[in-house]
Structure 1
C-alpha cells in the first residue's frame, strides 16, 4: 500500500511545517512530535520521505557516500568512479531493536562460511543522508538512546566490538513521535531534537469529518487517492528542492542574530544549541517563504518550534511558551535596520503567502480552507504556520490551579493531631476534606534499590541480568538449562568461535573451508545491567497528615521520589488512603507526570485506614506480577504509622515480609512527642524506616561526614569508631 499523501493531511499545520523545515535544512536537528494517540503523527512522517529529492551515492558503497565528498574513513574504500541517484531513505528504528541491529555487527554468514571477520552495517549506516524515524521514542531503551546521542552529536558511528574496529559517517534527520501519557523523554535526547511540536486532534466537527472522509477514501482505493493528490505532492516536492537551493543565499543580518540571542536569553534556555537551532530554522523558514533575508516573523516561527522543550527545568514542567513574553522580547530587540520588503516574485508560484508555511505568522490557519479536499498545498492547506496558538501546548491551567496553597489550615492540639471526624459514631460519615495544599520544592533523594539480581525490563535502578548490559561472563549452552540461560544473554560469537577453534583439525576442516561448529561450542553471553522496578507509592491522606501543613512536606517528598523514578525509568503507581477506604489514584504506568498531577489534587482529612492501604497495595502488586512477572516491586509507604479505622495492619504487613516485597516506610511523624508507630510498621513489613529529613541525599552525606568526623576525633576509642562505622553502614545499606 502506498503511503498517505502529506498534502492530504488535514488540521496538522504545525506538524507538517516543522517536518518541511527540517527537510529544507537537515542541520536543524530533526523534529520531536508529541501528542495524543490517533493524530496522524506516524502518517505524516512516513509521507515525508516521498517528497524528499533523491540523493547521489557511490555505486557499491553500503554507507551511501556522496560522490562529491566521499567519507575518507568509509569502510568500503577505495571507491569507484561510478555513482547513481537513489530515493531518500526513511529508516525506522523499532523500540525493541537490539544494539547490534542499530550499530551493525559481525557478518555471521562470512564468519562461519569463510572464517573471516567482516562487518555488517546497521540501521545508522542505512539512515545516512536520510531520515531516522523512531516511533514511541520515549519507550526506547537507554542503551539505544546512548548510541543515538553519540551518533547525533558527532555525525559518525564508532564500533569497537567483537574484534571489529569500524567508523563511518552517519548524518540523518532524527524524527521521533511519542505520546506523553506513556512517559517522558530523557533530557539529553530531548535536547538533541532541533524542533518540537505538540499535536492535538481538532475539536471542529467539520475538520474531523474531513479527516474521516479522506481516510475512508484512501482505504477504499489507495492508488486512486494517491493519484488524485499527485499534482499537489509533485508541487510540494519541487518547492522543497527550490527552498534548499535558495537557503544558501538567505541572509542573516547581525541585527536579527542579536535578536535571536536576546530571545533565547529572555527564556533562560541552557547552552547555545537553542540559539543555533533558532537561527537555522529562521533561515529555513525564510527560504521556504521565498525570502532572501531573515525577518522577525521568521524568528518568531523558529522560536515557537525550537524553545519550548529547552526551557523546561525538570521533567514535571509542562512544555510550552508564553507568547506574550516572546512578542515582547521580539519587539524590545527588533533589528535597528529596517527589514527589506517582501518581493512576491522571489518565491515560488503563488508567492510566500501560498503553500505550506507561507501564511503570515501573525495570522494562524484557523480557517477551514485546509478541509477542502480539492485544495492543494498552495491553498491554505495543512502545512501553514500556526503561530497564534503556537506549535506546542501551553501550560495547563489545571496544573497551575493545583499549585495554589490552601489558606487557613487548622492547627489541631498537639496532644491529639487527628481531626474531630475521627471520633464520629457513624460508620459511613463522610470524611471532612481540606483543600489540596501545594508541594514543597523537590530535592535529590536517596537511592533505593531492590536487593538481589533481577530479570526485569532494562532501566536504571536495581541490578539485573539483561540483554543490553555489559557482558560479565560467558557460559556453555546446556540442554537442561538453555531456556533460562537464553533469557540472560545472546550467543557470544567470539567465545563460541574460540571454543571451536581448537577442535577444527580433529573435525577435519579443510584449509579455507567453513568453520565446523557443534552444539557444545556455543557460548552464551551473561550480561548485567540495571532494571526498572514497579515503584508503588502508598500515601496516607488522613486528617493526622494534614496537621501543621505536614502534607506539603509529604507531597514534596513524594514529588522528589517521583522525579527519581522518572530518571530511573520505573513504572509508578499511586495509592491514597483516608476515611475508611483506599483508592488507586493512578494504576501503574510509565507516565510519572500523571502521578504528579494526581498528587497535586490530593485532598486530606478523615480517619486512617492503614490496613486498607496495605491491602490495596498487595492487590496491585499481585496484578502487576501477572502482567510482568519479572518486574520487581518496591513499596514506598508514606505515613506517620497511625491506624484509626479498619483492622490491625500487623497481619497484612507480615505478608509483605513473608513474600520478600521490598518496602520503605517514610516516617512523617513530627513534633516533640513521638509515638514511633512507623518504626513498628517498618519492622512488621521487614522494610527500611526513614524519616522525611533523612530522605534527602544531602542529609545522608552530612550524616556520613558527621559520623566520620566523630569517629576520628581525638580521644575516641577504636571500638567507638568501629561502632560509628557499623551504624553508618547499616543506615546507608
Structure 2
C-alpha cells in the first residue's frame, strides 16, 4: 500500500511544521493533533515516516539500540561495540485504541513457556517504537490503563515489566504523536501535558484550496504509484533537509535574552509547571536549525510558543484551548533590525515553509480558512488568533428576576405560567443563569458489579484491576486476555502422571489454560435529567443547580464516563445532548440552558427512559447512572403526579441505577424529591451535599461539637482537656 506523500498535503502548514520540528528534535516531545473529522490528521502523521532519515541500530537487537550509545541493561545485550551496525527505516509504530496492556509493554512468550518450559520475554509495541514515533489515532479514546503505561514510559524513557514471572526493563525513548476529534471527548491533563506541541486543524474554507485537496486525493486513489513518483523529488529534498537540520541542531545557540523571553511568555500565559518553558526552548532551537540559523531569534520563539502553549493553558476540561496571539506579539515585540533573516526556501513544494515570517506554517493558516478574515488578509478588530470565539452567553444579557424572594418557610409558589401575549400556557417567559465555579463532587456509583469498559466509577469485572479468580472460559483468547499462571499449573498438575510425565517440563493441554478474572472499575453512562422549570428559578436556585451539574460533569470527565443531558420545563422535555464522551460540549449546552414554566416531570423521566433504552441497544455492556436534578414537583398536564410516579416505577422495575439530587430549599420542605427517590428506588441526595467537601465538613462539624460537649468547664490554666473517642479538643 502506497502511503500518501507528506509533501503533497495541502493547507495544514502548522501541522506540517509541528511534525517536522519533532522529527528534527525528538526531545521536543511529540505532537497532539486536534481537529474535526476529515482533515487529513492521520494522513499527515503516516506520511511523516516517509521523510524521516534512516536509523543505525545494533544488528539483531529487538529493542533497536543505538550502536553509538547502546543500553547497558538491554535484555538482548550486552552488545558487541565492534559489531557491524545495521540500518533500518525510522520507525512509526501505531498503537490501536483497543490494544491490550501485554501487547503494549510485552509479556511472557507463551510459545517458549509452554513448549520449552522457558520464561522468555516477548517485546511489545513500546520496544518496537524505541527511538521512533509511537502514533495513537483517536488518542482521547485510549483506555486509562494504557494511558498510565504511556505516561510512565514517556516520563522515564524506560519500560519496566513485572508480570507472569518475567522481570524486564528496557529502553523506551518514544515520541508520542496522537490525533483526536475533540467532539468525542478530551484527554486527561497528565497525558495532554506529555505532548510537546499541539495543533488545531480544520478544513480550508476557500473553494480553490478545497478543490486542490480533492484533486490530489482522487489522483492518489486512481494511481498511487504514479502519484507517489510525482512527489518523490520533493520527499527526498525534505528528507535531506531534516537530516541537515538534525546535524545543525547541536550548533544552534540559545542566547540568555531569548531564554528570558521564553520564560516571560510562559509566565504571562500562566502555564503550570516548567515543562512548557523547556519544550518551547527545544522547539525554538529546532525551528532555528530547520530554517538554517545558528542563533535562536524572536521568530523562532514565536513559532515555538504558538505550538507549545495553547494546550497547556487549559485549567479544566471546559476551557477552550487557544492562544491570544495579540498578547504574544506584545510580549515578544518587534524583531531588531540586525536579526538574521530566515534561511532560504527550497521551493514551494519542499515541505513546510520556514517560519512565521513567511507564508508558511507560522502565518499561512492565520487567514486561510477563516470566515472572519478581511479581503486583504488582515484580521478583523477584536479577533484573536488561535482563540475560539464563542457567542456571548445569554446569562450576561438576561436581566435578573424581579420576583421577590419567598419568605423562609413559606409554601412553594406556583410556577409562573403567564408569558407574553399569544404564547401558550406553560411556556412562560424564560431566563438563563450562569453556573458558579465547579467543585469536587461526591462519587456516585451504580450498584452491584458490572462488566463494562474499564473506567473509574463503578465496580466491574474488567480487563484490568486485581485478580479475584481464574476461569477456563474462552481458552483460545488467552493471548489477548492474559494467562493466570498459578491456576494453569494447578489445573495441569493433577494430570501429569496420566500424561506420562516423569521429568522435564510440565506437560500441558489446552484444557489446562486459565485466564484471570479481574475486578476493577468501569465507566458508566451518566444521564443528567435536569429540571429547568419556573419553580427552580423562583427560589434563585438555578445557579446552584447548574453549578452542581457542572461539578458532576467534571467528575464524569475525570472518570472517563459518557454523559447525556435531558432537560424538562414548560410542557415537554428535550434531549439537549445525546450521550457522548465530550463533557465540554455538555457544559456549553448547560450554560445556554434557559429556565421557566411549569414542571413536566413525567415527560422528563420518559425522555430519560427512552434515551437509556436506545443506548442499551447501542452499548449493552455500559451500565447507566440516571441523575435526576429536581425539587420533585410535577405540575404540567393532567394527573401529572400519577404519571410521573408511573414512569419512575418503570425505571425502578428495569433496575436503572438512579440518584435524585433534591433542589428543594427552605426551613419547611414538602419532601417531594424524597418521594420521587423512593418511587425510583434511587439514592436521595440534597443539592448542598453534592460536593464531597461538604460531606467531610458536616462530619468534622458534628465530631467537633460532640467533643466540645464532653469537655469540663475549667479555667484555661486548669487540668488537661478530656479525651473522647480519640478526639482531642
TM-score, length-scaled by structure 2:
0.89
Distance between the aligned counterparts of 2:192 and 2:385, measured in 1?
Answer: 15
Q: Secondary structure at the match of 1:539?
A: strand
Residues 405 and 146 of structure 1: is their aligned pair in 2 closer, same or farther, counting only changes over 3 Å? farther
Tell me, yes or no, if the aligned pair for 2:57 and 2:66 is still in contact at 8 Å: yes
Residue in 2 that maps onto 1:299: 301
Residue matched to 1:658: 653
Displacement after TM superposition at 1:690 (Å): 1.6
Q: Whole-Å Cα distance in 2 between the matches of residues 484 and 354 of structure 1?
A: 51
Range 490-499 or range 16-25, more displaced: 490-499
Q: Is this contact kept in 1: 2:530–2:566, CA < 8 A?
A: yes
* 1:573-628 alpha-carbon deviations (Å, 9 max, x no partner): 10000111110111111111111111111111111100110111111111111122
* 8 A Cα contact 2:352 2:360, kept in partner: no
> What SS does the aligned partner of 1:72 have?
coil
SS at match of 2:626: strand
447-456 vs 30-39, greater mean Cα deviation:
447-456
The 8 Å contact of residues 301 and 361 in structure 1, kept in 2 or not, is answered as no
User: Equivalent residue of 2:464, what SS?
Assistant: strand
Aligned twin of 2:417: 421
Q: How large is the Cα RMSD of the aligned pairs?
A: 3.0
* Cα shift readout 1:544-577 (whole Å, capped 9, x = no counterpart): 1122432111111100000000000111010000
Q: How many correspondences in the alignment?
A: 690
1:341 alignment partner in structure 2: 339
Measured at CA, do residues 681 and 635 of structure 1 come closer, stay the same or move farther in structure 2, by a change above 3 Å?
same
Q: CA deviation at 1:196?
A: 0.3
Q: 8 Å contact 1:489–1:527 — kept in the other structure?
A: no
Instruction: Describe the SS at the equivalent of 2:661.
Output: strand
User: Residues of 2 paired with 1:353 and 1:520: CA distance?
Assistant: 61
Question: What does the per-residue CA deviation read over 1:54-103, in whole Å, with 9 as the maximum and x for residues that have no partner?
Answer: 11011111110111111000000122413111000110000000000000
Query: Which residue matches 2:434?
Result: 438
What TM-score, normalized by structure 1, do the two folds share? 0.89
1:421 partner SS: coil
CA contact (8 A) 1:182 1:591 kept: yes
1:706 and 2:708 are equivalent in the alignment: no
- Structure 1 residues 360 and 133, CA gap change in structure 2 (3 angstroms): closer
Task: Indicate which of 680, 689, 695 corresponds to 1:685.
Answer: 680
1:193-342 counterparts in 2 under 5 A? 193-331=195-333, 340-342=338-340
The change in CA–CA distance for 1:534 and 1:485 in structure 2 (over 3 A counts) is farther
> Which residues of 2 match residues 213-612 of structure 1 at below 5 A?
213-331=215-333, 340-342=338-340, 347=343, 350=346, 356-361=352-357, 393-398=386-391, 400-402=392-394, 404=396, 406-412=398-404, 414=406, 417-421=413-417, 428-429=424-425, 431-475=427-471, 477=472, 490-501=482-493, 503-509=495-501, 511-512=503-504, 515-612=506-603
Report what 2:173 is aligned to. Answer: 171
Contact 2:529 2:566 in 1 (8 A): yes
Q: Name 1:4's counterpart in structure 2.
A: 4
User: Structure 2 regions of 5+ residues with no counterpart?
Assistant: 369-378, 712-724
Shift of 1:532: 0.5
Distance in 1, matches of 2:26 and 2:173, equals: 9
Q: 1:638 aligns with which of 608, 623, 629?
A: 629
What is the distance in 2 between the residues matched to 1:228 and 1:488? 42
C-alpha change, 1:163 and 1:209, in structure 2 (3 Å) is same
Distance across 2 between alignment mates of 1:292 and 1:112: 57
Q: 1:340 to 1:57 in 2, by over 3 A?
A: farther
For 1:589 and 1:710, how far apart are their aligned partners in 2?
Answer: 45
The answer to whether the aligner puts 1:696 opposite 2:687 as a matched pair is no
Measured after TM superposition, the shift of residue 417 of structure 1 is 3.4
SS of 2:465's equivalent? strand
Deviations 1:266-317 (A, max 9, x none): 1111111000000000011111111110111111111110011111111110
Deviations 1:240-272 (A, max 9, x none): 011111111111000100000011011111111
Alpha carbons of structure 1 residues 288 and 482: separation in structure 2 relative to 1, 3 Å: closer
Q: What corresponds to 1:731 in structure 2?
A: none
Secondary structure at the counterpart of residue 64 of structure 1 = coil
1:114 counterpart residue number: 116
Cα distance, 1:323 vs structure 2: 1.0
> Residue 355 of structure 1: CA displacement?
5.5
> Could you give the per-residue CA deviations for residues 26-65 of structure 1, whole angstroms, max 9, x where no partner exists?
0000000000000000000000001000110111111101
CA deviation string 1:671-702 (max 9, x = no partner): 34422211111121111222221111111001
Secondary structure of the structure 1 residue equivalent to 2:47? helix
Matches of 1:423 and 1:392, distance apart in 2? 42
Does structure 1 conserve the Cα–Cα contact (< 8 Å) formed by 2:303 and 2:355?
Answer: no
* CA–CA separation in structure 2 for the residues paired with 1:317 and 1:436: 20
The residue number in structure 2 matching 1:20 is 20
SS class of match (2:438) = coil
CA distance 1:390–1:111, shift in 2 (3 Å): farther
Unpaired stretches in structure 1, ≥5 consecutive residues: 372-385, 717-724, 726-733
The whole-number CA distance in structure 1 between the counterparts of 2:681 and 2:144 is 32
